Amino acid sequence: MINEQLLNPKSIVVVGASEDVMKPGGKILKNIVDGNYNGDLYVTNLKSDVVQGIKSYRDVADLPDSIDLAVLAIAAKFCPHTVEVLAKQKNTKAFIIISAGFSEENEEGAQLEQQIVKTINEVGGCLIGPNCVGVLTTNHSSVFTTPIPALEPHGADFISGSGATAVFIIEAGMAKGLKFNSVYSVGNSAQTGVEEVLEYLDYSYEPEKSSKIKLLYLESVNNPQKLLKHASSLIKKGCKIAAVKAGNSEAGSRAASSHTGALASSDLAVDALFKKAGIVRCYGREELANVAAVFMIEELRGKNIAVITHAGGPAVMLTDALSNGGLEVPAISGPKADALLEKLFPGSSVANPIDFLATGTAQQLGDIIEACENDFDHIDAMAVVFGSPGLFKNEEVYKVLHQKIRACKKPIYPILPSVVNVKDDIEMFINMGNVNFPDEVLFGNALTKVFNTPKPVMVNGDDASIDVAAVRRIVEAQPNGYLTPEAVQDLLDVAGVPRVKEFVSSKVEELQKAVDEVGFPVVMKVVGPVHKSDVGGVVLNISSGEQLVAEFERMMKIEDATAVMVQPMASGKELFIGATYEPGFGHMVLCGMGGIFIEVLKDVSTGLAPVNQDEALEMIRSLKSYKIIQGVRGQKGIDENKYAEVIVRLSNMLMHAPEIKEMDINPLLGEGEKVIAVDARIRIEK
């Protein structure tokens, strides 16, 4: 686990240090020295007495008796013994192992890795790696890579599962003016992974001292619940978190025999987890860097953006990106707008975008920003696009922009696209402590993504209306596989999900008696085959006793048929609710419209159980088909609160039944306040 010896070591030894700075052991030592580390620095090298001007020890056993942090740049096979000596004889409590050749390579390497972890755990130490590029803090630069970003307490904390990717993301961030507080390259995560570092950042968080920006790059989520707990906790404390999760292939072992199974994937589970935690999900390095730069600016509190520009094309593209993402670029008009226009050159426009032409001056930019800040109350933030065609320098303009960013209460987003023509001016602007968004569309997409990411939601799923004992009794009494219709009905009843009456029998006489109770017309469905419709096992609008008998006899001849189900006909729009169990994550709950929307368009929303009412409503409202639920062209809509209630009830029931691996309610019919389950299928696996 992360400890003080890793973060602020009083002494560091580089094991395998080299005079050659093109080698990892040489570059790490150089980076530590160049970073002005102020503790005691030691090196070991089997063949040298001095390395980069520092006394070298031939054997770690000869080192002083107290070494806080050891950075190992030696062959994997030598690491276990070295760690043993340092941990047991030199009181070393923190290790960074950059060496490769461990679990990522073969079983022999995995055994070496396990041996190292065992030794470090025995002394209560911390291990970063192996197979990583190292760690950066404001106290030491123990990495073998460059560039070394500007490190300051309120920069971003960055945790990466990939060393090379960490370097590339740092480069992308530095180009935009992003600052860093710490960088952790966790490599194989043998003891300490992304989740454990995040846990430390949560537990050690101090509002006035700690960084409020956390960036993550993950190739796997090893402990979803830990990630959810600490990410949501940090965000609730005022932090902002963005993450790239690479790798989105489906779990190959999933039995995709239902709509839910076919639609769900481990990547969908990650998406649901991030949404529940409040993490902004990104899909690439540049997007992560842009989102991080958005984080560096005051939080956007409203939806209305003033686009200020001297170039029409970028303003149009930015307006499109903002509008498509749900933000607005509202019109600006009235006497105050006219007064502003008087200060600009003829041909300018203040309608929004505010275009003050290619000849616009620093003074005019200042006037426009002042008007947006003080005169236009409906404007919540400003995006300033200002480049150069190469005719003049932008130094004065960027100085004004720098001053206004600090003076204004409304957020100002600088978009400075002339990275060649006024490269030096942009560098000056960034060195003054600002960020820059070189591309207006990438900025617009990043801002809307941040704005639209929901705040974290934590619910415990303890619903007093759920009879937990009844849920457990039903599940435990069933064998693996699809539940009987009777068991499905029982679980829906326990969950409090409204359903149509169902009668199941292998005797036509019993079904005839049931129909006498509910009356015609009815629906008949074969029991046994998984996909009833595919085998002709569903018939609607049975309206006579003769038809009922004939269809019963036909259905009982279908392969695998064990009985026939009869239901009264129900009306309404087809809805869908499904659930699938993802190991480590728990149950994912899916919802959407039924019919073609689920079959062809795959229009579904996902939440991670337990889902509360607000989450369920957000899931429903994010559907592309949401307008149909609201009601369009005079058609009666569906009470979305009732729909959400059913999602919540199922979610709470699932919390007590991890054996349920797949569940479909399809269709769930909705009409006005009536939302009722017509058909359901549940598969359990114990």
Q: What is the average pLDDT across 239-253?
A: 74
The domain 305-434: what is its CATH number?
Answer: 3.40.50.261
Residue 258 has pLDDT above 80, yes or no: no
320: burial class by Cβ within 10 Å (0-12, 13-18, 19+)?
A: middle
The two beta strands, 660-671 and 604-608, are unpaired
Q: Quote the CA–CA distance of 523 and 311 in Å, as a whole number.
A: 64
Lookup: tokens for 615? 């989450």
**Cβ(79)–Cβ(127) under 8 Å?**
no
Q: What is the pLDDT of residue 209?
A: 94
Element (DSSP H or E) covering residue 154: strand 151-160
pLDDT digits (tens, 9 = 90+) for 91-111: 999 999 999 999 999 999 999
Q: Quote the CA–CA distance of 650 and 547 in Å, as a whole number.
A: 36
pLDDT digits (tens, 9 = 90+) for 522-558: 999 999 887 788 899 999 999 999 999 999 999 999 9
Residue 460 has pLDDT above 50, yes or no: yes
Q: Quote the CA–CA distance of 250 and 266 in Å, as a whole number.
A: 6
The domain 573-684: what is its CATH number?
Answer: 3.30.470.20
3-state secondary structure (DSSP) of residue 391: coil
Cross-strand bridge partners of residue 74: none
Element (DSSP H or E) covering residue 65: none
pLDDT digits (tens, 9 = 90+) for 169-189: 999 999 999 999 999 999 999
318-to-204, 228, 306, 442, 443 alpha-carbon distances in Å: 39, 33, 11, 9, 8
Q: Is 149 left (phi over 0), alpha (psi -120 to 50) or beta?
A: beta
Average pLDDT over the chain, rounded to whole?
Answer: 92
**Cβ(580)–Cβ(260) under 8 Å?**
yes
pLDDT digits (tens, 9 = 90+) for 371-408: 999 999 999 999 999 998 777 789 999 999 999 999 99
Nearest CA to 318 out of 440, 438, 427 is that of 440
Helix 224-236 and helix 194-203, axial crossing angle in degrees, nearest 10 = 30
Using pLDDT thresholds of 50, 70 and 90, give the confidence band for residue 667: confident
Q: What is the pLDDT of residue 253?
A: 35
**Cβ(628)–Cβ(636) under 8 Å?**
no
Q: Is 10 left (phi over 0), alpha (psi -120 to 50) or beta?
A: alpha
Q: What is the pLDDT of residue 466?
A: 86
Q: What is the average pLDDT across 646-670?
A: 93
pLDDT digits (tens, 9 = 90+) for 280-317: 999 999 999 999 999 999 999 999 999 999 988 999 99
Domain 149-295 has CATH 3.30.870.10: no
The two beta strands, 305-309 and 381-385, are parallel
Q: Quote the CA–CA distance of 378 and 71 in Å, as a whole number.
A: 55
Q: What is the DSSP letter of 176?
A: T
pLDDT digits (tens, 9 = 90+) for 419-449: 999 999 999 999 999 999 999 999 999 999 9
Domain ranges of the chain: 4-131, 149-295, 305-434, 573-684
Using pLDDT thresholds of 50, 70 and 90, give the confidence band for residue 464: low
Domain 4-131 and domain 305-434 have a common topology = yes
109: burial class by Cβ within 10 Å (0-12, 13-18, 19+)?
A: buried
**Cβ(382)–Cβ(437) under 8 Å?**
no
Percent of the chain with pLDDT over 90: 83
pLDDT digits (tens, 9 = 90+) for 331-345: 999 999 999 999 999
Listing DSSP states for 94-107 in one string gives: EEEE----STTT-H
Q: How many CB atoms lie within 10 A of CB 455?
A: 10
Q: Helices in 296-334 by DSSP H: which ranges? A: 312-324
Q: What is the average pLDDT across 639-646?
A: 95
Helix 224-236 and helix 266-277, axial crossing angle in degrees, nearest 10 = 20
pLDDT digits (tens, 9 = 90+) for 134-173: 999 999 999 999 999 989 988 999 999 999 999 999 999 9
Using pLDDT thresholds of 50, 70 and 90, give the confidence band for residue 252: very low
Q: Tell me which of 673 and 243 has the higher pLDDT.
A: 243
Considering the segment(s) 4-131 as one domain, its CATH architecture is: 3-Layer(aba) Sandwich (3.40)
Q: Quote the CA–CA distance of 271 and 281 in Å, as a whole number.
A: 8
Task: Count, in order, helices (H) and strands (E) of the chain.
Answer: 24, 29
